[in-house]
A and B are shown apart, each in its own frame.
Chain A
Amino acid sequence: MTDFFGIPLPALLGQLLLGLVNGSFYAMLSLGLAVIFGMLNIINFAHGALYMMGAFLAWMGLEYLGLNYWVMLLLAPLLVGVLGIAIERLLLQWLYKLDHLYGLLLTFGITLVTEGIFRSFYGVSGQQYSVPEALQGATNLGFMILPNYRAWVVVASIVVCLAVWALIEKTSLGATLRAGTENPKLVQAFGINVPRMITLTYAGGVALAAFAGVLAAPILQVTALMGSNLIIVVFAVVVIGGMGSILGSILTGLGLGVIEGLTKVFYPEASNTVVFVVMAIVLLVRPAGLFGKEK
């Protein structure tokens, strides 16, 4: 009974968990992208680079300042958020009246610069970051061994994603935010400072990316290029989910992580490309994406 289509159950569940972990990263990143896109109308190509920066900040905090994981889990998103404010005020705000593609190109430029800086200091080899003490070890669930840290990543990211969703969909602040997306002029007339809201939205979105980066640091190698391959998969996730719904990007992210994990078990050669194959199929059937609305 421990076999499932000829695959031992523990191996299957192990990959499923790995898929969920990756899926949580996809969910957090595509959620941030969706929030930023909703408010700024900019596809933030720099999202992957800022995720990488989050991971690097965690590593640097421990290496140079002796700050532990938990401190950096709060501090890194904060620092990246402040950087986000600077990026939005200094660079992005000049582009809102232009075609979308300039926002994509500018943030692509930011990505190149960020990666170039980290490469010039740390090269391309990975930095190791160990799992924090409280989360080391694994729990035996009877049918599988569950590494504590991976369980933490999945739980933490789902909680954060749901919190963001609740903030946007269920609070008055979120209502203002959504109204600002629909009609900035009208919301401004109600005395709400829309430009500041836009700045803070960008900061919040990139802080979310940095948070994902810190979570990823102990599992993945911390390298200058860790964000650049991920961001393209996240773009595919965004296309599959459609940008319309917050909950959609969370569900699509997690779901695609799981699909990727399962592919790794049954047909490993395709595990790198399965997300793009799914994207192609979804585009053929529903060009607006699974949760998107046709404009």
Chain B
Amino acid sequence: MSQTKNPLIGYGLMFAGIALLPLLGAYPIFVMKVMCYALFACAFNLLIGFTGLLSFGHAAFLGAAAYGAGHALKVWGLPVPLGLAFGVAAAAACGLVFGLLAIRRSGIYFSMITLALAQMLFFFFLQAQFTGGEDGLQAVPRGTLLGLDLGKDLTLYYVVLAIFIGAFWLIYRTVHSPFGQVLTSIRENEARATSLGYDVERFKLVAFVLSAALAGLAGATKTLVLGFATLTDAVWTTSGLVILMTLVGGMGTMVGPIVGALVIIALENKIGDAGKFLAEATGVQWFNGLGESVSLVTGLIFILCVLAFRRGLVGELGALLEKRKA
């Protein structure tokens, strides 16, 4: 049904809904965290969903921007927009280096190379002075923006929402531009795209850097919201997490990664409670420890998605609606 109407109306309603959430009693920090990961997943999806490149190192860009923005805001005392911009630039620079190396190989080699490079950056963050090692970068100030005090959760909420909408719009425009059409053609049939005369490697590289920069925007914003950057941002399991978010929501759909991020973050926050409930209901003490081994549950979801729901929640729903109509 949404096929005939302008999809922008749907997106507008979605964002209006998100804007109303704090007034309806949602915890702003939680929603902001979801928005940051949703942006991260959207950026990742630009690569896997629309270009067909599986990066297994996207946490590197989240981490580079988180540390970059944190350092710029805390140590250099830069104003908020410049701090965020510095984080994004750091991520984009990493993206350029990674991209130049990784797109020399395709398929799973590409994935393995991004993973290895991200791990290299992780060890750098672990050993470098400015990152605070195991403790991370703590107490990053929120500061002010255009005279607005970002210390207030609600003010920051609408700033983060604005960033999120802006980035989403950029991704939407990219996907629906001639450039985006070339990316899709690379995903569908790389050899044919080459034979049509497109410089495939260059298109892939631009997409990769754009995706890295947007992932960086997510990381920088996350540091601003939570006030810290730690190794968790850059560790390779976070790269796995963003893949899972995109897979759960639906690869190659605009809204899928947002839904996926919401599902996974909510799950991470609630799984300990669910385990306690199960322990009480069944009397099996082992469930009490479920909160500490979230990876067990996320892993099962991973396996389930790959085997049965490859289109993700949004993708499967869309297919169902299509069937109804036909």
Q: How far is the CB of B110 from chain A (nearest CB, A)?
A: 9
* Cβ B112 vs Cβ A43 within 8 A: yes
Interface size on A, residues (CB 8 A): 44
0/1 interface trace, chain A 89-119, chain B, CB 8 Å (1 if under): 0010011001011101110111111111101
Where chain A touches its partner, the secondary structure class is helix
State which of B22-30, B114-122, B130-138, B255-263 sits at the interface with chain A. Answer: B114-122
- Let me know if A165 is at the binding interface, CB within 8 A: no
* Cβ A120 vs Cβ B303 within 8 A: no
- Let me know if A272 is at the binding interface, CB within 8 A: yes
* Cβ A109 vs Cβ B108 within 8 A: no
For the complex, what is the distance from the CA of A111 to the CA of B124, rounded to whole Å?
25
State which of A74-82, A178-186, A206-214, A233-241 sits at the interface with chain B. Answer: A233-241
- Let me know if A61 is at the binding interface, CB within 8 A: no
* Residues in A whose Cβ lies below 8 Å from that of B117: 276, 279-280
- Let me know if B194 is at the binding interface, CB within 8 A: no
* Cβ B101 vs Cβ A101 within 8 A: no
CB proximity to A under 8 Å, residues B102-146: 104-105, 107-109, 111-113, 115-117, 119-120, 123-124, 126-127
For the complex, what is the distance from the CA of A117 to the CA of B286, rounded to whole Å?
11
* Cβ A283 vs Cβ B113 within 8 A: yes
- Let me know if B164 is at the binding interface, CB within 8 A: no
* Cβ B112 vs Cβ A238 within 8 A: yes
- Let me know if B294 is at the binding interface, CB within 8 A: yes
For the complex, what is the distance from the CA of A101 to the CA of B115, rounded to whole Å?
13
Where chain B touches its partner, the secondary structure class is helix
With A119-B292, A232-B119, A283-B104 in contact, is A108–B240 under 8 Å at CB?
A: yes
CB proximity to B under 8 Å, residues A258-291: 269, 272-273, 275-277, 279-280, 283-284, 287-288
* Cβ A43 vs Cβ B108 within 8 A: yes
26 contacts between A and B (CB under 8 A): A98-B310, A100-B108, A101-B54, A101-B108, A102-B306, A106-B303, A109-B299, A109-B306, A110-B299, A111-B299, A112-B298, A113-B296, A115-B295, A115-B299, A116-B294, A116-B296, A117-B296, A228-B236, A233-B116, A235-B116, A236-B116, A239-B112, A239-B113, A272-B126, A277-B120, A284-B101
Q: Which residues of chain B have a CB within 8 Å of any CB of chain A? A: 54, 56, 101, 104-105, 107-109, 111-113, 115-117, 119-120, 123-124, 126-127, 236-237, 240, 243, 247, 286, 289-290, 292-303, 306-307, 310
